[in-house]
A and B are shown apart, each in its own frame.
Chain A
Amino acid sequence: MIDFLASNFGVTLAALGAALAVFFAGIGSAQGVGIAGQAAAGVVTEDPSKFGKVLVLQLLPGTQGIYGLLIGFIALSQIGILGGSSDISVAKGFLYLFACLPMAFAGWRSAVSQGKAAAAAIGLVAKRPEQFGKAMIFPAMVETYAILALLVSILMVSAIGGMNI
């Protein structure tokens, strides 16, 4: 075990980073979609014809999980776990780990908040279905911050490969 870690510490750290991105962002999205889903189910019991609209709103907090998957996947293919050599120095391993953190944490918390905003937007559509366009924008505002985190994570993960350390 000690020997394994000593010789593969870099790639282990990098894989931890990829796992964190998928895992935290996934938790957040699951929770966000869950919160919105509860509100959506309530609306549909009263008016089944609103199913399509509330489903769209419910799905909005789901994107963070996808972004997490994206970062995890790019990281894994960069460090060579999905084929190729996986000879990563410890320093690079740490860099990969840190590169994944913005997506992991911003993804997690923003998805939960977006879920709450989506639930409120679902309430809005329940009372005023014609305001669907506006209702959609409120949760989308929250997503901006997940996108910014995604961006920084992408830039970091894809830049590390070319670094000479």
Chain B
Amino acid sequence: MAVLQMQRITICGLQEDKKSITGFIQRHGVIEFNDLLQQDEVFQKMDFSSSEAVFSKNSVKADSALETLEAYDSEKKSLLSMFEGRKQITLNEYDAFSEKETEISEVVAEIISLEKEIAESKAEILKFKLQTETLIPWSSLDVPLSFQGTAYTTAFIGTLPNTWTLEMVYEQLAEYTPVNVDIINASREQTCIMAICEKGKADLVSDKLKSNGFAYPVVSGDIAPIKQIQQFEEQIKEYESLISADIEKIKGLAKKREDIKLFADSQSIGAGRYNAASQMLQSKNVFFISGFIPQKAVNFVTDYMKNYSAEVVVEEPTEDDDVPIALQNKGFAAPLEGVVEAFSLPGRREIDPSMVVAVFYYLFFGAMLSETMYGVALVLGCGFILHKFKHTIEGPMKKNMQMFMYCGFGTILWGVIYGSYFGDAISVISTTFFGKTVAIPPLWLDPVKNPMTVLVLSLALGIIHIFVGLGANLYQCIKRKDIKSALYDVILWYMILVGCLLMGLSSQMIIGMTGLSWILPASVGKVGMILAAVAAIGIILTNGRESKSPVKRILKGLYALYNITGYLSDMLSYSRLLALGLATGVICSVVNKIGAMFGPTPLGVIIFIVIFIGGNALNIGINALGAYVHSNRLAYVELFGKFYEGGGRKFEPYIAKTKYYKIKEN
């Protein structure tokens, strides 16, 4: 349970060693650059952003080439590949790759240009198809669309809006005879016509036609439309064969996929290196690195630097330093760092709450899923993935898998306590198909039959959870040597809560409601009342202590006391442990009941199996999600509300940010 202790480190090395030193730091990812040193005439920061851009661009190009490969020759992946993480490669293999870099960058460029050619060809095909479509109505015309007429005649080829019959057109042109009109094609939207008249009347005919909405066709051509359509089709075929040839070429390059991945990674490593170099102070002969390093990595780095003529200074960070936060926990608390981080990392002088969260998280998750076999499924599923990919699985995914595995153990625990094995599947199956009833009795109680007992249990767990939260606050106050806060904000609240509890547990009404079999004597209740009253007065007097004016102070204190209702609602909030726990079991029973409806026939067995599998898959999905969300909520709202604010900045070390390969030391 700890926030890693950070140190400020400054390394001064010779330019000739820069590449190996920064390479070492980048591979291990132990230092976050955070420069305090000032530039002067000798030591300056150099701008490498243009080199960085070249590398990033290459990396992006390689990614897009990989996307193209994936589109035309998709890589076979198993369902579990999302858990697999990056492949590993040794440093020597990685270094050896640099010889191939030029070749691969050419391959990348080729794939990109092929992809571009394909896209262009597709655009051309689309263009020809559109033109063909506009030409189709004209296909029975045997002169080109650009035909103007002969020596003594003028031809008008174009469209009139809506449907026209031959008579209607002749009627319009009656006064300009002799005219010849042909209807090439008529549809509801437009009528394609060719009208021929004497050259002398051309203007008049033109005006008349235009007043009726005549328009020249949007396409034009020097050959007859039907021939033009044929030409377009030939061109489309040409482009199509070009595309399939290109696709074949791309498929041929698919064997370079792994190299391209490595290329993408090596380029982004390069970009990262230039980015880092821009942040270093350098002179002609030496360079400076300054930043934060976790205490535990200090020796490792200083030992390595002894190989070079480099000077290392390690100091405690000052009060003004914006020290980044990294968490490190052991055992079953470690997987919950992700849950803490999703809320916020610990702020200045706050403790790492992972351990406090862990104590209850798995228990609450289990109580809400509370189904033995689902727990087994979680443990086996996550365990399998953790085992299968134990060398390559990435940190956050590994933590999630571990977390759900531990949650699975919590679930098994509660499932056995409640006696739920796929709900009441065992008794339903034995009754329906074998004619006698077998059942595993619950280890303790059946929540459907004793909801009140489980409710009391849930609330009791809640009270413990809240008390632990307050305890963490107490620990924090003492660690900060803030005795006043410890006394006024924690101890007084402990007193009032304990007082109220004692009062409640000695009152006949509460005991009657909860169905507990024992009651505290009235004298204890009285003690509780006095305790609570003293604490309440204490809270009114002290909890507004930051205000100067006594009136304001009392008012603030009263308001703080009102917060007791907050504790009540916090406590009731734990009733979700019962509600969600019941939900899983009851849905299981519903599934079993529906499945068993068709009785002990062969068809009935098949239907039972289908409904059983489908129903349980749905149930585990939705209830595991619910249990996860509400475990988080109980941690974030009820627990963190008592002591934790967060606000820390994440430790972002300078590290090789690769997508596909992970480089390990030889």
Interface residues of A (CB under 8 A from B): 56, 59-60, 62-63, 66-67, 69-70, 73-74, 82, 132-134, 136-137, 140-141, 143-144, 147-148, 150-151, 154-155, 158
Contacts and interface: CB of A to CB of B under 8 A. Distances in A.
B399 to A, nearest CB: 13
Contacts of A62: 622
Given A144-B576, A155-B455, A66 B632 contact: no
B586 interface: yes
A63 B626 contact: yes
A56 B625 contact: yes
Nearest to B590: A73
B301 interface: no
B336 to A, nearest CB: 12
Contact of B622 (A63, A74, A133, A134): A63
Given A133-B632, A134-B342, A155-B451, A69 B590 contact: yes
B343 A151 contact: no
A158 B342 CA distance: 39
Interface residues of B, number: 32
- 5 closest residue pairs by CB, A with B: A133-B342, A140-B633, A147-B576, A150-B579, A70-B586
A147 B578 CA distance: 9
5 contacts: A59-B622, A66-B583, A74-B448, A134-B343, A137-B633
Given A66-B587, A74-B586, A132-B342, A137 B632 contact: yes
A61 B250 CA distance: 46
Nearest to B577: A147
B506 interface: no
B398 interface: no
Interface string B560-577: 000000000000110110
B452 interface: yes
Given A63-B622, A148-B572, A136 B589 contact: no
B593 interface: yes
Given A133-B339, A141-B633, A154 B622 contact: no
B582 interface: yes
B637 interface: yes
B637 A137 contact: yes
Nearest to A62: B622
Nearest to A136: B629
Contacts of A56: 625, 629
Interface in B325-359: 339, 341-343
Given A73-B589, A155-B455, A144 B579 contact: no
B261 interface: no
Contacts of B578: 151, 154
B630 interface: yes
- Chain B CB within 10 A, most for which of A137, A154, A155: A154
Contacts of A137: 632-633, 636-637
A141 to B, nearest CB: 7
Interface string B431-465: 00000000000000000110110010000000000
Interface in B563-616: 572-573, 575-576, 578-580, 582-583, 586-587, 589-590, 593
B575 A70 contact: no
A141 B451 contact: no
B457 to A, nearest CB: 13
A147 B574 CA distance: 10
A154 B451 CA distance: 8
A82 B424 CA distance: 15
Given A59-B622, A155-B452, 12 more contacts: A63-B583, A70-B583, A70-B586, A132-B342, A133-B339, A134-B343, A141-B637, A151-B575, A151-B579, A154-B451, A154-B578, A154-B579
A149 B397 CA distance: 36
Contacts of A140: 629-630, 632-633
Contacts of A69: 586-587, 590
